[in-house]
Amino acid sequence: MNETTQKYLFVGSYTGFEPGQLGWVGSKQPGVGILSFAFDSSNGSLNPTGKETKQDSPTWLEIHPNRRFLIATHELSHHTGVQAGVGFVTSYKILPDGGLEKVCTQSTGGRGNTCATFDRTGRFLLVTRYWEGGISVLPFDPDTGIIGEVTAQPDYKGSGPVPLRQTVPHPHGIHGDPRTNLVYAMDLGTDDVHQHVLDVKTGKLAPHSDVKLTPGSGPRGINFHPHLRVAYVNCELNGTAIVCSVDDEKGLVPIQTVHCYPEGFNAQGNPENLGKADFWGAEGCLSVNGTHYYYICRVHQSIALFNVDSEDGKLIFSSRCALATNSNARNLTMDPSGRYLLVASQDADRVECFRIKPGTGALELAHTQFAPCAADVAVL
């Protein structure tokens, strides 16, 4: 492995559960925290460094834009025994050998921290509180990696038409606009994208508006096109991706909905459908150049690939790639080189690394690596 292709890769996991204890996790083997791997972007291979960072359910990993720090959520739930209103995120310094050195742990004010991302300045951490139905903002020092105390903590109200998943708000993903101070919270429980304006001096949030999506869609996350003012909302409960134009003042404006599962596929009643809805979609992501969009179809155990129109950003189905049996992949991450897509196949206890074919964007399995209850991948 030469110097130009050697990188480090981190894999988060669910920890501390007994088989069957977490209704949305089919893995029989809990993780240990965060695993570190050497990643070769010339051939897609992963090699364990032997470094393990023990932490409670770090199911979302986020690397700061300066590449010096890694943030990990603690996705706490009933199995951890913590009370409502208790939750944390932890900051780590990334060491030259791929190890992690803890900087600090900070309270988020709530459990179920399913997502943590940085605003466009890199000075505020945006975190979901899935079980309490809200989000939190925390200051972040990009020089030291220290996370400050919560500066904003709005809660939401409402419900959706899917009884088992939408009786209350459940913000699952959160992201700052790459060009403005708008913040978007995807609420799986109410089918809303809650839009706020972040004060980048104080860390306070001002309510802006709600974007109502298809009833029962269950918005989960969002990706922004690298060049166009277009965003892609991946919806969990109805297996769709919603393409939105992005207005600097109004925020998101839906312009297209695409179905990501094969026509006629029925996920309801399938024993692998732990999401308990008509479908159980997971995360989506864009290729580095924005020409292709990928969406995880859990239960069907596949990734749907779409071509992205270069003018309006709309999606056109292109192909499909199989995941491991019983994968129920939770997250997928694009290698910064743009050559590989890395998938956290949670219930198959592995990371699957797919080579991206130039031009078509089609996926070809390049490497698999054992990682118990893999929940997320972050590549340095």
Least confident of 14-23, 145-154, 292-301: 14-23
Is residue 84 very low, low, confident or very high in pLDDT (cuts 50, 70, 90)? Answer: confident
Determine what percent of the chain is predicted with pLDDT higher than 90: 94
Higher pLDDT, 2 or 158: 158
User: Would you say residue 270 has pLDDT above 70?
Assistant: yes
**Which residues touch 336 (CB under 8 Å, ≥6 apart)?**
7, 288, 379
User: Would you say residue 1 has pLDDT above 90?
Assistant: no
Positive/negative CA dihedral, 292, 323, 346, 282: positive
Task: Report which of 63, 85, 67, 64 is spatially closest to residue 76, judged by C-alpha positions.
Answer: 85
With beta carbons less than 8 A apart as the criterion, state whether 125 and 35 touch: no
Task: Report which of 248, 265, 269, 244 is spatially closest to residue 320, judged by C-alpha positions.
Answer: 265
Is residue 3 very low, low, confident or very high in pLDDT (cuts 50, 70, 90)? Answer: very low
Higher pLDDT, 85 or 44: 44
Residues 86-96 have a mean pLDDT of 96
Residues 20-43 have a mean pLDDT of 95
Q: How far is Cα 149 from Cα 137, in angstroms, rounded to an integer?
A: 9
Could you read off the pLDDT of 204-244 as tens digits, one per residue? 999 999 999 999 999 999 999 999 999 999 999 999 999 99
Is residue 177 very low, low, confident or very high in pLDDT (cuts 50, 70, 90)? Answer: very high
- Tokens 């909302």 correspond to 233
Give 263-271 contacts, CB < 8 A, sequence gap 24+. 265/300, 267/239, 267/299, 267/300, 270/299
Look up residue 78 and give its two tokens: 């009933």
User: Would you say residue 4 has pLDDT above 70?
Assistant: no
| Per-residue CA distances from 218 to 133, 189, 221, 279, 312 (Å) | 14, 6, 10, 10, 24
Q: What is the pLDDT of residue 197?
A: 98
User: Would you say residue 301 has pLDDT above 90?
Assistant: yes
User: Would you say residue 134 has pLDDT above 90?
Assistant: yes
Q: Position 60: which residue type? A: W
User: Would you say residue 199 has pLDDT above 60?
Assistant: yes
Q: What is the pLDDT of residue 188?
A: 98
Q: What is the mean pLDDT of the chain?
A: 96
Other C-beta atoms lying within 10 Å of the C-beta of residue 206: 12
Is residue 85 very low, low, confident or very high in pLDDT (cuts 50, 70, 90)? Answer: confident
User: Would you say residue 290 has pLDDT above 90?
Assistant: yes
Determine what percent of the chain is predicted with pLDDT higher than 70: 99
DSSP summary character for residue 15 = B
Residues 90-107 have a mean pLDDT of 97
Task: Return the CA Rg of the chain.
Answer: 19
pTM of the full predicted structure? 0.96
